[in-house]
């Protein structure tokens, strides 16, 4: 079964650009994948076109070998643009493999270990009464794992000031109030989106006190392992790290040194299902559960479900809060995953279980979009 074409569609769908990739074969079987490098989709599309040049005519079933060649063929290995492109192609190849054998992809990854994928939900409300009210409403809906954000969102055209000391003071107060009101059974986390320094993270955790947080996500930037080692020595809150990692090698020191307690694998950034399953196995060897990152489109979700179904070490999968009206997606995606009673049911459709209305996607234009801009009170740039 030979690859006959690879098409890439960077297109505005709903509230954001999606970068979808279709791999076609000479037997008429095709697969869909998705890239996760938000706001740099055209760079990924360019990488996909480079890969296409030598993938045409290759056996679509040799997924691992094709992964190695894509990763290593340009001599300058790795990087988030390249692995985002590899991720999309890899997912599409696994989709093809499942369809060719008429089985869900998870059967090819070791088989189903669970019937449903537990989810966590996110509140994006600002700290204070609005956040407490939203948490209360989500808890009443039955959500057992709820994550807060810092509440500062900003925009590229209207930059927002991020005062870190005010932020950690407000977050500590709000989270303590939430824990006190909603009790110990709630799994409570916060995503700080790598906006803190080591000292600021330590200060934040000290203000919280013992037992308030079940996980702290991405408190500092991820490039320095030694910074996380230093932080680990002075903070005892479990860390959820890894959504930006672009390979098993990125994950390796954080797993080997027990720096991440929940591995935030993103199948659309880490290198697809091929690489994600290796990271999950590495995490399992250290008794670390995976906590997949999934804020993207339905193809990403469908692929993530396949991984989650097949691994033993799963905590919860993310359900994106950022696009409240997803009914629009039904025009573009066929059999897209839908949350049912706070879980994703594990289906039995062949491949990753989703199809794409290619004609409609092809008609969608690409829109340049930048992530929100945050600045410190002194005017210097900080992370969104």
Share of the chain above pLDDT 90, in %: 91
Name the DSSP class of 216. E
What per-residue confidence (pLDDT) applies to 160?
87
* Contact between residue 52 and residue 262 where contact means Cβ atoms under 8 Å apart: no
pLDDT at 323 over 80: no
Q: Which two tokens stand for residue 101?
A: 């054998």
User: How far is residue 5 from each of residues 48, 59, 168, 288, 353, measured CA to CA in Å?
Assistant: 11, 12, 50, 39, 21
Q: Residue 328 pLDDT more than 90?
A: no
Q: Does residue 263 contact residue 280 with C-beta atoms inside 8 Å? A: yes
Q: Over range 199-215, report the average pLDDT.
A: 96
Provide, for the chain, the percentages of residues in helix, strand and coil under a 3-state DSSP scheme, each rounded to the nearest 5. 40, 20, 40
Distance in angstroms (rounded) separating the CA atoms of residues 187 and 217: 13
pLDDT band at 372 (very low <50, low <70, confident <90, very high): confident
pTM tops 0.85, yes or no: yes
> pLDDT tens, 136-172?
999 999 999 999 998 766 666 777 899 999 999 999 9
For 372, counting Cβ atoms within 10 Å of its Cβ (0-12 exposed, 13-18 middle, 19+ buried), the class is middle
The answer to whether residue 330 scores a pLDDT higher than 90 is no
Residue range 5-20: average pLDDT?
94
Average pLDDT on 292-309 reads 96
Spell out the residues 6+ positions from residue 99 whose beta carbon is closer than 8 angstroms to its own: 29, 31, 350, 351
Residue 324 has pLDDT above 50, yes or no: no
State the Cα–Cα distance between residues 16 and 268, nearest whole angstrom: 16
Give 230-272 pLDDT, tens digit per residue. 999 999 999 999 999 999 999 999 999 999 999 999 999 999 9
* Rounded-to-integer distance, Cα 131 and Cα 151, Å: 9
C-alpha closest to that of 91 among 266, 249, 313: 266
Residue 131: pLDDT band with limits 50, 70, 90: very high
Name residue, tokens 């991440």.
260
Token pair for 190: 């916060």
Q: What is the pLDDT of residues 66-122, one digit of tens each?
A: 999 999 999 899 999 999 999 999 999 999 999 999 999 999 999 999 999 999 999
**DSSP assignment of 143-202:** -SEEEE--S----SSS-EE--HHHHHHHHHHHHHHHHHHH-SSSEEEEE-TT---HHHHH
């Amino acid at each position: 079964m030979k690859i006959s074409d690879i098409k890439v569609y960077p297109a505005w769908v709903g509230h954001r650009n999606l970068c979808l990739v279709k791999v076609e074969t000479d037997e008429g079987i095709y697969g869909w994948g998705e890239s996760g490098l938000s706001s740099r989709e055209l760079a990924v599309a360019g990488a996909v076109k480079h890969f296409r040049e030598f993938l045409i005519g290759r056996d679509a079933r040799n997924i691992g070998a094709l992964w190695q060649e894509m990763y290593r063929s340009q001599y300058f290995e790795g990087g988030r643009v390249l692995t985002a492109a590899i991720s999309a192609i890899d997912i599409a190849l696994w989709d093809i493999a499942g369809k060719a054998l008429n089985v869900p992809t998870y059967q090819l990854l070791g088989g189903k270990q669970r019937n449903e994928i537990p989810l966590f939900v996110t509140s994006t409300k600002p700290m204070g009464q609005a956040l407490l009210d939203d948490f209360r409403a989500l808890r009443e809906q039955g959500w057992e794992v709820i994550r807060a954000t810092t509440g500062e969102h900003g925009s590229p055209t209207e930059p927002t000031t991020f005062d870190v000391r005010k932020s950690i003071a407000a977050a500590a107060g709000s989270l303590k109030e939430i824990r006190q009101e909603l009790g110990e059974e709630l799994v409570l986390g916060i995503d700080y989106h790598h906006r803190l320094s080591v000292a600021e993270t330590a200060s934040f955790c000290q203000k919280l006190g013992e037992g308030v947080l079940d996980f702290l996500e991405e408190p500092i930037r991820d490039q320095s392992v030694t910074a996380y080692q230093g932080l680990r020595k002075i903070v005892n809150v479990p860390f959820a790290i890894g959504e930006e990692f672009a390979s098993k090698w990125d994950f390796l020191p954080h797993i080997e040194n027990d720096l991440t307690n929940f591995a935030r694998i993103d199948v659309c950034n880490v290198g697809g299902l091929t690489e994600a399953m290796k990271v999950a196995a590495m995490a399992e060897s250290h008794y670390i559960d995976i906590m997949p990152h999934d804020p993207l489109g339905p193809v990403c979700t469908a692929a993530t479900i396949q991984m989650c179904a097949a691994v033993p070490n799963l905590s919860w999968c993310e359900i994106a809060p950022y696009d409240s009206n997803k009914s629009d997606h039904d025009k573009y995606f066929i059999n897209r995953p839908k949350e049912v009673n706070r879980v994703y049911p594990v289906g039995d459709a062949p491949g990753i279980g989703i199809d794409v209305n290619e004609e409609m996607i092809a008609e969608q234009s690409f829109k340049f979009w930048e992530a929100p801009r945050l600045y410190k009170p002194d005017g210097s740039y900080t992370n969104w």
